[in-house]
Amino acid sequence: MSNATNRREFLKIGAMTGMGTAMGLSGCATVSQKTPRKLLKTEANMIEYAAPPIEVIRVGYVGVGGMGTNHVKNLLKIEGVEVRAVCDIKPNRVDIVQKMVVKAGQKKPTGYTRGETDFIRMCEREDLDLVYTATPWEWHVPVCVAAMKAGKHAATEIPAALTIEECWQLVETSEKTKKHCIMMENCCYDSTELIILNMVRKGLFGEILHAECGYMHDLRALKLKRTAAGKPAHGEAEWRLEHSIKRNGNLYPPHGLGPIAQCLDINRGDRLDYLVSMSCNSRGLRKYAAKKYGPDSKLAKQKYALGDVNTSLIRTALGKTITIGHDCDTPRPYSRHILVQGTNGIVRKYPEEKIHIEGKTKGHDWEPFDKYKKEYEHPLQKALKERARGAGHGGMDFIEDYRLINALRKGLVPDVDVYDSVTWSVVSELSEISVANRSKSVDFPDFTRGKWKIKRPLHLMEV
C-alpha cells in the first residue's frame, strides 16, 4: 500500500476498496506499520468519550446469518431497543428476522437486500442510532465507516479490522464523527474471564508479569464444508477458507487477547509495544480434505498459506509479556488458553480451571479455582446472570449486547472503545508481517497517540 494513498478518498470508496485491501494480503510483508500519518486536530478525542444519551436505540443490523440473528434475538429482549432495518445479501435471512421482530411486538423493519453494498443505502436512508454488523470479516470496516459517516454509532463482530490501514480508518472516522465504533468481543463477558479480571483488580496476583491466550478451535470441517454440488456450504464456509488460502499469521486474535488486555491495563496505563510471530507448516487442511473428499480433490491439492499453529509473543511498554496462539486446522479440543501470572500467583482456564496463590496454596501445587469463585464473582455476573441465562455462548452474548445498549441509553463510556477494538485486531497483520520476515519484531501502531499513558477506568468493572 503506497504512502500516497489518499486515506480520505479511501473512506469514500467504501466497501469494495475495503474488501480488496483485506483480501489482498499476500504481499503484506512490504507494508510498513510505521507509515507517517497526518494527525487530526482532535487527537484521540474518543478516549473516555460518552455520547449524549438516547432513550430508545434504533438499530439497523447488517448480516443476519447465525451470529447476527442471535444478536437480534438478544436485542429484542433488552428494553429501549427498536430494530428498524435489516440488511443481508440473502433475502430469506432478512425475511426471517423481519418476522422475528414483528413477533416480538415491534414494527416490521425495512429490508435491504440489493447486493453486497446495500448497507450504504440503509445507513443513508434510515433514521438509526446504531448500525451493528455480523458480516464476513472483510466487510466489518466498510459497514462501520459507512455507519459513522452517516451519523450512526457502529458495532461490529470480531475482528474489527484486518489491516493496519483499516484500523486507522476506524480510529480516524470515529474521532472525526464523534461516533462510537465498538468491537463486540463476547469473551470479555465470559464468567471465568470476569472472575479472573476481578481477581486482578483486587490485587490477588500482585503485579502482573505475564499472560497467555489464544484461539485454538478445530475449524477444518467448517472451512471445508461443501454442498453435494461441491460448492461452499452456507455460513462461514462461504468465505472463511479464503483467508487460510491467502494469509499466514494469527487470523483471530481478539477472543484471547481482549480479556487479557483488560487484565493488563492496555491503553489504560500500558500499551502493546512490539510483536514477534512464527507459524509452523501448513498440513491440517490438505490432510483433512484428502480424507474427506479424496487425495485428487481440488481442496486436497489446494495450497494453504496459513500455518497450522501460529505463535506470537508480545511485549508491552511497561515490560509485561503475552503469548498468543492461533490453531484452527489441527485435531484438538477447544481452548482460549487463558493464563495470568503475577508476583503473588497464577491462574489458568484451560484445560481446566486452576489457581495457585502464594501463602494460600499448599506447596507447588495447583488448587481448584472453584474455591475462589464466590468471593471474586464479578458484580456484572451477579446483576445479569439470570437475564443472560439461555443466551448464546453461555450467556456472554446477551451481556455484551446489554452493556452496549446500556451505555448508549445512559450516555456512559462503553466497556470497549475504538482504540481497544483496533489494538486487539491489528495483531493479525502485524503477525503476518513478522512471519513473512523470519519472525522479525514489528512495532504496534499507537492508535491513542500517546494517550495510553493516562491511567483511566476500565468501565467493565462498573455496574
Q: Where are the domains of the chain?
A: 188-378+418-461
Q: Write the pLDDT tens digit of every residue in 443-462.
A: 999 999 999 999 999 999 99
Q: In which band, very low, low, confident or very high, does the pLDDT at 44 lie, cut at 50, 70 and 90? A: low
**SS3 for 229?**
coil
Strands 130-133 and 57-62: parallel
Residues ≥6 apart with Cβ < 8 Å to 295: none
Contact present, 165 and 143 (Cβ < 8 Å): no
d(CA 255, CA 210): 17
pTM beyond 0.85: the answer is: yes
Taking Cα atoms as reference points, which of 409, 456, 411, 321 lies closest to residue 44?
Answer: 456
Q: Average pLDDT of the chain?
A: 91
pLDDT at residue 157 greater than cutoff 60: yes
**SS3 for 65?**
coil
Topology of domain 188-378+418-461, CATH:
Dihydrodipicolinate Reductase; domain 2 (3.30.360)
Q: What angle do CA 144, 148, 153 make, to 5 degrees?
A: 85
Taking Cα atoms as reference points, which of 187, 205, 319, 314 lies closest to residue 262?
Answer: 187
Q: Write the pLDDT tens digit of every residue in 342-394.
A: 999 999 999 999 999 999 999 999 999 999 999 999 999 999 988 888 887 88
**SS3 for 379?**
helix
d(CA 36, CA 378): 42
d(CA 437, CA 109): 49
Q: Write the pLDDT tens digit of every residue in 298-338.
A: 999 999 999 999 999 999 999 999 999 999 999 999 999 99
d(CA 103, CA 1): 48
Taking Cα atoms as reference points, which of 301, 226, 268, 214 lies closest to residue 419?
Answer: 268
Contact present, 116 and 92 (Cβ < 8 Å): no
Contact present, 196 and 202 (Cβ < 8 Å): no
* 153 DSSP β-pair partners: 130
